[in-house]
Each structure stands twice: as C-alpha cells, then as structure tokens.
Amino acid sequence: MSTKGIQFSLTPVSTEFTGGAKVFRANVKTNGTVDAEQLANEAAESLKIPVAFTRYLVNVLTSQLNKEWRAGNRVNLGQAQTGFVIKGSFTHEDDRFDHERHALALTIHPLGELKSALADITPENIQVSLVCSVYSLMDAVTKETNVITGTNEQHIQGENLGIDPDNADEGVTLVDADGNTVATATVSASDAQTITCTFPAVEAGEYTLVVSARNGSRTSLAPAVARLKVTVKAA
C-alpha cells in the first residue's frame, strides 16, 4: 500500500519530563480532510447511482452513529470499531466526571483487512528539519523571568530554533490565556539551540511563550511552532 499522506515530523520531548534523555514525539501529517459531501460523490461515482441517494445514505448513517454513540454503544463498522476513553485524572475512587478536568473522547480501532493494511505501512519522516521545540528558559526550574522590559535580555533554549527575522511568520511572542498576543520580541541573535531576544514591558502574570521557526531552511513550508508556559514576575 502506498504511504502517500501518511507522513510525520519529530518534535523533541522536554528533557524536564524525560529526566534528561533525548526523546522525540511523532506528529502525523495527512493530506487533508474528506467530508461527507466528498464521500457521497465518490460513492455515487463508484456505484454508478445518483449522488442524491448516496448523500441520503451518508446522512442517515451519520445520524444513526450519533444516536448509538450518545447511547454509549460501541459501533462495529466491519473494518473498524468505535469506542470511548476519558481523558484527565481522578483524585479518589469516588471522584466524579468533571467537565473542567475531564473530557470524553471517541476512539476508533481498525479490524480485519484494514488492521493488516495499516500494519504493512511504513510512514515516512519528511520534516525533521522543520522541528521546533522550546524546552527551557535559563531559569528552567521555576519558569519565572524577571520583569520583561526593552532592556531585559531573554535567552530561550531548545532544538532547531533558528529564526530568520526577515520572515514575517517567524519570531517569538508572548500570548495570554485568551490566545491574544501581548508582546512580540526583538531577536538579536538566533541559532539552532538558543534565541536571544528582548520584549517590551508586560504586566506580571501567566503567559505562553510561542516560538515560530524554520531553523533557517525550507522557507517554502510553514514554520514549526513550539510553546512554553512562563510566569512573568512583577518589577
């Protein structure tokens, strides 16, 4: 079976979580999304029947799946079976499901020929050079920085962090809890391991440090993005 569309890139896992070991996490890259309309059109063409009929069948199947899942049933689709997992930890044996801490997720497991076909596929690693990971600041233990001003130099460490400041989509920013950019850094030096930069003054609080980088190569592709939670101290 062709591996087209089944590709991945590697992102280093924070050494703070691995005890110093260098470990990478795979990020799967697909060719896109096939929606219900496309499925209906392709089925109609394959079966040589009116597309209106296949659209009706897809809508009926979708509605029935929704009904079964809401009823808490696993669904065996012949080549795959759906199920459920609950994400999030529980603090004691009588702990209840809490939407603030837990999430119910739908799973799908291949069966039969599909399972065998997937076992025969070898995904291709195609974007190693684009990997970007921020794993520490200079004060990596506390993740706290001094008050950030235009003269307070920040040193960001990680893997494959080379930034080209001439590219508008590469750089370092601070983002608040709502996802709004509150400050953009001026980068004075950058290589694969360290970025030296300064931020304008920001209020004390919790932020996400966002680094967008291509590591100096393959500018035609989108930059990789890495995020790190930081606490900015008051002056």
Listed range (117-131, 184-198, 199-213) with the worst mean pLDDT = 117-131
**What mean pLDDT comes out for the span 21-39?**
79
Dihedral over alpha carbons 34, 36, 40, 42 (to 10 degrees): 0
pLDDT tens, position by position, 60-115: 999 999 999 999 999 999 999 999 999 888 988 899 999 988 999 999 999 999 99
**What mean pLDDT comes out for the span 177-183?**
91
Query: Could you give all domains of the chain from N- to C-terminal order, each with its CATH number?
Result: 74-112 (no CATH), 131-232 (2.70.50.70)
b or e along 82-104 (b: 16 or more beta carbons within 10 Å of the residue's beta carbon)? beeeeeeeeeeeeeeeeeeeeee
The residue behind tokens 């999304």 is 33
Q: How confident is the model at residue 144 (pLDDT cuts 50, 70, 90)?
A: low
Looking at residue 13, its pLDDT comes to 64
Q: How confident is the model at residue 57 (pLDDT cuts 50, 70, 90)?
A: very high
pTM of the model: 0.50
Q: How confident is the model at residue 134 (pLDDT cuts 50, 70, 90)?
A: low
**Top mean-pLDDT range of 91-105, 141-155, 203-217:** 91-105
**What mean pLDDT comes out for the span 115-141?**
64
**What mean pLDDT comes out for the span 5-13?**
69
Listed range (104-108, 126-130, 168-172, 222-226) with the worst mean pLDDT = 126-130
Q: How far is CA 202 from CA 151, 175, 187, in A?
A: 13, 11, 17
Euclidean distance between CA atoms 149 and 233, whole angstroms: 11
192 pLDDT exceeds 80? no
